[in-house]
């Protein structure tokens, strides 16, 4: 009988998001593809260290104990530019870390994101910026991981997820109004359209999948009063009153929900992350992520006008100044093979 992915929360992850490939990438940069292959073969039994998205993936998979072994709620599938031979180290590292990931697609030197729709994926994480941009350009929900290599707290079993709103959960149409006409016209526009839900953004369906797991937690707590809820979801947005109302109403009309909302109106998001401590944060603007990624695993969703090449380095945000910070550390690969 075929294994069905419909109804599950399916996430695609590149090895560059899951593991720290700094050493492997350096070999490729300095010595070329043949040396890289030899390096991977010599280090086949050397377990790769966790990468930026590792704590998020680990905690997400741990939620499968809310279901049954033969019917998991969450499926994580490796999508890789490696060929099967060089991908062996990745799969051995997955087993060494005891991650319940058994499915993978290896496409030698080629982008694997085209398989996302048939695999029912609502999210693809990679450090390969080109792959992510190409996926987003075709309407697929993908993000580039940024941030420090994790220091995971084994005693913390919670999963905290944070989203920006515009360009992530919602489309960037309102942001375009701000870019064209400024903050006052943006606020007027949002007040006038307060009862009109936003168009859904790239990660609305991913949030819906998280909400299904949260519902399973609620069901569990009804039968087991001692069960402690593990998953919490926040939106952290530069919107503030009166532009908050349309965001809240849109979430409700879409049939999704969040536990907490931060309407910051210009406050540096990085400071909020230091207290909130999410295991992953999604935003469409690098000006914010340069701040958050200093301490928080962060994901850039390169959607819309603000992420066009001429705009990337310009601080363009709804009434929020660009924070001054050091560049975020990334594990971005240098080529079409290593990722």
**Tens digits of residue pLDDT in 184-216:** 888 898 999 999 999 999 999 999 999 999 999
9-146 and 159-307 share one fold: yes
Give the span between the Cα atoms of 275 and 292, in whole angstroms. Answer: 11
Tokens found for residue 24: 């492997």
> What is the Cα Rg of the chain in Å?
20
pLDDT, tens only, 7-61: 999 999 999 999 999 888 888 888 888 888 888 899 999 999 999 999 999 999 9
Under a CB-based contact definition with an 8 Å cutoff, are residues 338 and 36 in contact? yes
Q: Does the pLDDT at position 239 exceed 60?
A: yes
Q: How confident is the model at residue 338 (pLDDT cuts 50, 70, 90)?
A: low
Q: What is the CATH number of domain 159-307?
A: 3.40.50
Element (H, E) at 176: helix 173-181
pLDDT of residue 339: 67
CA dist list (Å): 29 to 26, 113, 289, 336: 5, 24, 26, 11
Q: What is the mean pLDDT of residues 284-304?
A: 95
Q: Return the pLDDT at 337.
A: 55
Could you tell me the residue ranges of all domains in the chain? 9-146, 159-307
pLDDT band at 310 (very low <50, low <70, confident <90, very high): low
User: Whose CA is closest to 241, among 283, 191, 277?
Assistant: 191
Q: What's 263's DSSP letter?
A: E
**What pLDDT, in 10s, does the model give residues 141-197?**
999 999 987 776 777 889 999 999 999 999 999 888 887 887 888 889 899 999 999
pTM of the model: 0.89
Identity of the highest mean pLDDT range in 26-35, 189-198, 247-256, 311-320: 247-256
* Structure letter (DSSP) for residue 66: G
Q: Determine the straight-line distance between the first and last CA of the chain, rounded to whole angstroms.
A: 33
Percent of the chain with pLDDT over 70: 91
Token pair belonging to 233? 């979801």
The CATH code that applies to domain 9-146 is 3.40.50.1000
């Amino acid at each position: 009988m075929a294994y069905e992915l419909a109804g599950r929360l399916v996430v695609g992850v590149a090895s560059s998001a899951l593991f720290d490939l700094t050493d492997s990438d350096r070999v490729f940069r300095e010595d070329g593809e043949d040396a890289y292959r030899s390096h991977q073969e010599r280090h086949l039994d050397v377990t790769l260290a966790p990468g930026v998205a590792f704590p998020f993936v680990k905690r997400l998979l741990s939620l499968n104990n809310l279901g049954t072994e033969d019917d998991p709620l969450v499926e994580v599938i490796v999508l890789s530019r490696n060929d099967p031979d060089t991908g062996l180290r990745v799969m051995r590292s997955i087993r060494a870390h005891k991650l319940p990931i058994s499915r993978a697609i290896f496409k030698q030197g080629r982008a694997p994101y085209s398989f996302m729709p048939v695999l029912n994926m609502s999210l693809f994480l990679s450090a390969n910026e080109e792959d992510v941009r190409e996926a987003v350009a075709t309407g697929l929900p993908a993000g580039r991981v940024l941030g420090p290599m994790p220091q995971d707290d084994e005693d913390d079993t919670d999963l905290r997820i944070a989203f920006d709103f515009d360009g992530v959960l919602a489309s960037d149409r309102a942001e375009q109004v701000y870019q064209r006409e400024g903050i006052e016209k943006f606020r007027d526009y949002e007040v006038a359209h307060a009862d009109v839900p936003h168009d859904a953004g790239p990660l609305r369906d991913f949030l819906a999948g998280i909400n299904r797991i949260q519902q399973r937690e609620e069901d569990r707590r009804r039968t087991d009063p001692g069960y402690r809820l593990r998953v919490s979801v926040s939106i952290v947005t530069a919107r503030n009153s009166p532009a908050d109302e349309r965001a809240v109403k849109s979430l409700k009309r879409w049939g999704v929900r969040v536990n907490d909302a931060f309407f910051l109106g210009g406050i540096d998001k990085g400071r909020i992350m230091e207290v909130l401590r999410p295991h992953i944060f999604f935003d469409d603007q690098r000006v914010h992520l340069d701040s958050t990624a200093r301490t928080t695993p962060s994901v850039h969703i390169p959607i819309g006008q603000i992420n066009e090449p001429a705009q990337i380095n310009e601080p363009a945000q709804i009434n929020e100044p660009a924070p001054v910070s050091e560049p975020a550390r990334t594990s971005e690969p240098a080529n079409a093979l290593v990722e």
